[in-house]
Amino acid sequence: MRFMPEGKYLMMGNIAMSEGALAAGLNFFGGYPITPSTEVIEHLAARLPQVGGVCMQMEDELASINAVIGASLVGAKAMTATSGPGIALMTETISMAANLEIPFVFCDVQRNGPGTGYVTEPHHNDIGLMRFAGNGEFQVITLAPMSCQELYDLTIVAFNFAETYRCPVFIMSDAYLGHLHEVVKIPSKEKVEKMVIKREIPEDIIGKFSYKDESTGKYIIPKPPIMGTDYCPPMFLSQPHSLEGMPTPKPQIFTEMMIKKITSNIDKIALTDTYKLDDAEIIIIAYGLPVRASYRAVDLARKEGIKVGILRLITIWPFPDEKVKETVKDAKVVIVPELNYTGVIAEQVERVTNLNTPVIRIPNVCEIHHPHDILKVIKEVDK
Amino acid sequence: MTRYEIRVSGFGGQGVITLSKMIIMASSIYEGLAATQTEAYSAAARGGKCWAEVVVELDKNIELIDYPKALKPYDFLIVLSEESANDVKVDFIKDEENTGFLIWDPTTIKKLKVGKKINKVLGIPVQKLAVEKFGNIVFGNSILFGIFTILSGIFSEESALETIKKFVPNSTLDKNLEAFELGKQEAMNFLNKIKEENN
């Protein structure tokens, strides 16, 4: 049974993500267990065979990601799940998959690092690694859920993005969210089926790979070719390729296409949400777990008459430059609560505002933000 | 604040995590309240110092819990092992009307040091009762669940019963319901005792 019956379920974050993947049509999972993502492979090892899919525990992370790419090439909807040390090992193949425009979804249940780190604590410290996940220039999509419900919902979105834009799509989870138990509302089978973009054998003979349509200036991303079907290239080379998939001596055009096929669609990819932003002078930019505490902090601050609102980034990569620029242009100050010390997203905000607006970080490491942590900073900057 | 903070601690295998899951299921699935549960991970859950926390939002209009960890002082604290009992300090428990309960088990804990300084403390040999009356230590969970249902009052008895049906195998359902009933009785007696003392 691929679809869980419609209803409310009590679920752990990692399981909600796995069920979201199944609903999105997952039929291959290749992985190597690692805390705190282990429940994903445990759950899918039981569930995938029930729906005619395959869950393979490989000998290591390298084999896992290569199996995922191989499965996707022959038409499977494929994914893997790991944590920081795993993604570090997998970058070589992620880079190759990006080059070949092979769609796949990657769930990173982040834990503290570097190295082995503290394995059961949440730490958003792989965000940079997700953005530059391998050698070469390419764009990825990274989604940041904040609850078990969103781990389910956004995983479906992630699979659709992978099919549409043919690039690596990351789901940014963490040790806390992955192990959190919450109620997840599963929609009806009909509703889910309407949402999901299916993998189909492309009908075009040419145009197996993305290209720029010179007459319109738009970037066209055809459906991914499926190995073993008609008109599919007999082999794939991870070199700069033309629209037919043949090696091309024009890496400039190829690299531009790799970047622009994502950035020219940023309006559709960069999902954001706002909360009480209309008259806000102080703006919180948050993603993932800290969003939850931010909602409360804003409510409490508003009671005291402080004009504060939230711009929530659901997609963190590609970074929505224009949206952030537009939102913060009249802001007195921007607050960025993050579950990492550097302030990876705070740096991005500083970049788009040209350092004209003060950006205050609230860096928490392995300790999720309490609403009062954020409220305290709001009050300080309001003085 | 409309948050209800619950913590259960003991050692792995006592049913600490199961009890917390029963509490969140009754509150969220059957009572329709927003709730989050977190638990000890890895070695702790298998014989070490084990804990689980539940936060229930009593305001039905709130759909998302802003801070998913349980905060001190707790509304409800259950301690089931010597080690976890030694950690308890007086300010761990809320000192308010109708809330701030501490439940401990004299089967596994020799003496609760802070016992006299906290108002609503119930020491009940849950594990001993489970073995004596129902023949197996596992029924202790249903006794505790009965106590929790009555004392906290955050979900209805119906929700609690539905939860038990979901959690226990059919063959032991009757015994579990009896154990639940026993817990309820103990809790009611305790509430009456508190009332008399206050009068």
Residues of chain B with C-beta less than 8 angstroms from the C-beta of A180: 36-38, 68
Residue A205 pLDDT > 70, yes or no?
Answer: no
**CB contact (8 A) between residue A370 and residue B36:** no
Can you give the three-state secondary structure of A149-192, one letter per residue? HHHHHHHHHHHHHHHHHCCEEEEEEEHHHHHCEEEEEECCHHHH
In a domain, A233, yes or no: no
Give the closest of A8, A119, A370 to B67, CB-based.
Answer: A370
Interval A179-193 mean pLDDT: 96
What is the distance in angstroms between the Cα of B36 and the nearest Cα belonging to chain A?
Answer: 5
Interface test mutation site (partner A, options B17, B56, B66, max chain A beta carbons within 10 A): B66
Give the pLDDT confidence score for residue A248 in this predicted structure: 86
Neighbours of A363 (CB within 10 A): 14
Q: Which single residue is written with the structure tokens 């205050």?
A: A360
Separation CA A383–CA B24 (nearest Å): 41
Interface test mutation site (partner B, options A181, A273, A292, A372, max chain B beta carbons within 10 A): A181
Separation CA B138–CA A77 (nearest Å): 43
In a domain, A46, yes or no: yes
Separation CA A284–CA A376 (nearest Å): 13
Q: Are residues A176 and A276 in the same domain?
A: no
**CB contact (8 A) between residue A176 and residue B24:** no
Q: What is the pLDDT of residues A322-364, one digit of tens each?
A: 999 999 999 999 999 999 999 999 999 999 998 899 999 999 9
C-alpha of B183 from chain center: 11
C-alpha of A265 from chain center: 16
CATH number reported for the structural domain that contains residue A29 in this entry = 3.40.50.970
* DSSP type of residue A285: E
**CB contact (8 A) between residue A181 and residue B24:** yes
What is the distance in angstroms between the Cα of B35 and the nearest Cα belonging to chain A?
Answer: 6
User: What are the angstrom distances between the C-alpha of A97 and each of A64, A109, A229, A308, B168?
Assistant: 13, 21, 20, 42, 47
Looking at chain A, the whole-number percentage of residues with pLDDT higher than 70 is 99
Residues of chain A with C-beta less than 8 angstroms from the C-beta of B37: 180-182
DSSP A53-79: -EEEE-SSHHHHHHHHHHHHHTT--EE
Contact A53, A93 (CB under 8 A): no
Residue B81 CB contacts under 8 Å (≥ 6 apart), including other chains: B9, B10, B11, B14, B49, B108, B109
Give the pLDDT confidence score for residue B114 in this predicted structure: 83
In a domain, A107, yes or no: yes
Interval A69-84 mean pLDDT: 95
Q: Which residues pair with B188 in a beta bridge?
A: none
SS3 A219: strand
> Which of B168, B118, B116 has the alpha carbon at shortest distance from B140?
B168
Q: Does B26 touch chain A if contact means CB atoms closer than 8 Å?
A: no
Q: Which of A170, A195, A220 is the last residue of a domain?
A: A195
DSSP B149-184: HHHH-SS-HHHHHHHHHHHS-GGGHHHHHHHHHHHH
**CB contact (8 A) between residue A35 and residue B25:** no
Q: Are residues A170 and A70 in the same domain?
A: yes
In a domain, A289, yes or no: yes
Please give the single-letter amino acid code of residue B84. S
Q: Does B44 touch chain A if contact means CB atoms closer than 8 Å?
A: no
In a domain, A223, yes or no: no
Residue A298 pLDDT > 90, yes or no?
Answer: yes
Residue A330 CB contacts under 8 Å (≥ 6 apart), including other chains: A281
Give the pLDDT confidence score for residue A344 in this predicted structure: 96
In a domain, A73, yes or no: yes
> Which helix (H) or strand (E) is B16 found in, with range?
helix B16-24
* Structure tokens that stand for A93 in this block: 């193949």
- Which residue does chain A place closest to B25, by CA atoms? A10
Among A147-156, A196-205, B140-149, where is mean pLDDT lowest? A196-205
* pLDDT tens digits in sequence order for chain B, 199 residues long: 689 999 999 988 888 999 999 999 999 999 999 999 999 886 656 667 899 999 999 999 999 999 999 998 999 999 999 988 998 898 899 988 889 999 999 999 998 888 778 889 999 999 999 999 999 999 999 999 999 999 999 999 999 999 999 999 999 999 999 999 999 999 999 999 998 888 7
Q: Which residues pair with B52 in a beta bridge?
A: B8, B39
Residue A50 CB contacts under 8 Å (≥ 6 apart), including other chains: A1, A2
Per-residue pLDDT band for A206 (boundaries 50, 70, 90) equals: low
Contact A170, A126 (CB under 8 A): no
Residue A174 pLDDT > 60, yes or no?
Answer: yes
Cβ burial of A299 (10 Å; 0-12, 13-18, 19+) is middle
Separation CA A373–CA A371 (nearest Å): 5
User: What are the angstrom distances between the C-alpha of A150 and each of A6, A11, A13, A173, A187?
Assistant: 16, 12, 9, 10, 13
HSE, CB side, 13 Å, CA atoms: give it for residue B154: 29
* DSSP type of residue B74: B
Exposure string over A67-81, b if 16+ CB within 10 A, otherwise e: bbbbbbbebbbbbbb
Chain A residues near any Cβ of chain B (below 8 Å) = 8-10, 35-36, 119-120, 147, 176, 179-183, 292-293, 295-296, 368-371
DSSP B134-153: HSSGGGHHHHHHHHHHHHH-
**CB contact (8 A) between residue A10 and residue B21:** yes
Q: Which of A195, A216, A232 is the last residue of a domain?
A: A195
**From its phi and psi, is residue B126 left (phi > 0), alpha (psi between -120 and 50) or beta?**
alpha
Separation CA B182–CA B160 (nearest Å): 14
Virtual CA dihedral for A230, A231, A235, A236, nearest 10 degrees? -120
**CB contact (8 A) between residue A368 and residue B24:** no
Contact A315, A270 (CB under 8 A): yes
Boundaries of domain holding A15: 7-195
User: What are the angstrom distances between the C-alpha of A20 and each of A78, A112, A358, A362, B119?
Assistant: 13, 25, 39, 31, 46
Q: Which single residue is written with the structure tokens 């050692």?
A: B11
Give the closest of A176, A181, A293 to B66, CB-based.
Answer: A293
* Structure tokens that stand for A214 in this block: 């010179």
> Which of A71, A69, A271 has the alpha carbon at shortest distance from A172?
A271
SS3 A313: strand
Q: Report the sign of the C-alpha dihedral through residues A334, A338, A342, A345, in that order.
A: negative
Domain architecture of chain B: domains with CATH: 3-198 (3.40.920.10)
In a domain, A371, yes or no: yes
SS3 A251: helix
Where do runs of H (alpha helix) occur along chain A? Answer: 13-23, 38-47, 61-73, 84-100, 127-131, 148-165, 175-179, 189-195, 251-263, 266-269, 290-303, 321-328, 344-352, 371-382
HSE, CB side, 13 Å, CA atoms: give it for residue B82: 5
CATH number reported for the structural domain that contains residue A336 in this entry = 3.40.50.920
Please give the single-letter amino acid code of residue B1. M
Q: What is the pLDDT of residues A240-277, one digit of tens each?
A: 988 877 888 889 999 999 999 999 999 999 999 999 99
Separation CA B122–CA A107 (nearest Å): 45
Number of domains in chain A: 2
Q: Are residues A188 and A274 in the same domain?
A: no
**CB contact (8 A) between residue B68 and residue A35:** no
Q: Are residues A315 and A179 in the same domain?
A: no
* Structure tokens that stand for B37 in this block: 């549960």
Q: Which of A172, A195, A218 is the last residue of a domain?
A: A195
Give the closest of B25, B41, B66 to A295, CB-based.
Answer: B66
Among A63-67, A268-272, A303-307, B117-121, where is mean pLDDT lowest? B117-121
Give the pLDDT confidence score for residue B48 in this predicted structure: 73
Residues of chain A with C-beta less than 8 angstroms from the C-beta of B42: 35, 119-120
In a domain, A303, yes or no: yes
Q: Are residues A94 and A178 in the same domain?
A: yes
**CB contact (8 A) between residue B68 and residue A10:** no
